[in-house]
Amino acid sequence: PGRSRAVLIAAECDTKTGMSSFPPPGRPSQAGHSIPPQSLPPGGAARYPVAFIGMGSMGAPMATNIAKKGFPLSVWNRTHEKTSALLSLGAKQKSTPRECVQGAKVVVTMLSDEKALFDVLCREDGVLDGLENDAVVVDMSTIGRSAAVKAGEFVRQRGGKFLDAPVSGSVGPASSGELVALVGGRLNDVSRAQPVLLAMCKRIIHVGDVGQGQALKVILNGIGAHLISAYTSMIVLGERLGIPR
């Protein structure tokens, strides 16, 4: 406990052994818990009710993949028109976030920023007003570490569980179900949300406690930003040296 360790959760089985790349039995997780691989449900097997909030360019295809896996799905978005394509897949459009999450075992949010998340959580008829006891809220937005920790406290105060799970990948991988989820939270809660996460993601990386998924997302974005900066700097250098672009 307290050490920074990334744990790769079974997005795919090892083709040689047939075993998932989860910690072996008896090996403690970062939070001091141990879950044998065989105790984890295979992706999509446990089709419990799911709520999805946020039908933006990333959220809509992610929710579509959940619906295609056969999960009973309720959806909400500020503009209801963006949920229309999901209705043909069996999803139920709800009028408020509160109504959307009632009865859901896993609630997924994919919103533009911290302000949008807290509005959906805390507004009148918001998520916290309708959240089931012990439901797992999985926020997949990119909101920063401190916001994730704060959101996690709000959810826990209402009797729920919270995971921050920002994703690596853009609209293409979101459509094909090949995102990578960077997850912070209790390992037991990750295993409960695993079938839903695997409907959207090819890989789940458990980074540590709540907020650590957001921390890793910042690091990965920083690496990308520095690569772009180096690339453009070298283009300018090459031009100054007389090399055609």
Residue 130 CB coordination number (10 Å): 21
- What string of DSSP letters covers 137-166? EEE-S---HHHHHHHHHHHHHTT-EEEE--
Closest CA to 39 of 60, 59, 24, 58: 24
**Coil, strand or helix at 2:** coil
Phi, psi (deg, nearest 5) at residue 233:
-65, -40
For 162, what's the count of Cα atoms within 13 Å in the CB-facing half-sphere? Answer: 24
Q: Where in the chain does DSSP place strands (E)? A: 7-9, 50-53, 73-76, 92-93, 106-109, 136-139, 161-164, 167-168, 179-184, 201-208
Residues 168, 33, 197: CA angle, nearest 5 degrees: 30
Q: Does residue 174 contact residue 186 with C-beta atoms inside 8 Å? A: no
- d(CA 169, CA 178) in angstroms, rounded, equals 8
Mark whether 217 is an active-site residue: yes
Query: Which residues are known to be catalytic?
Result: 217
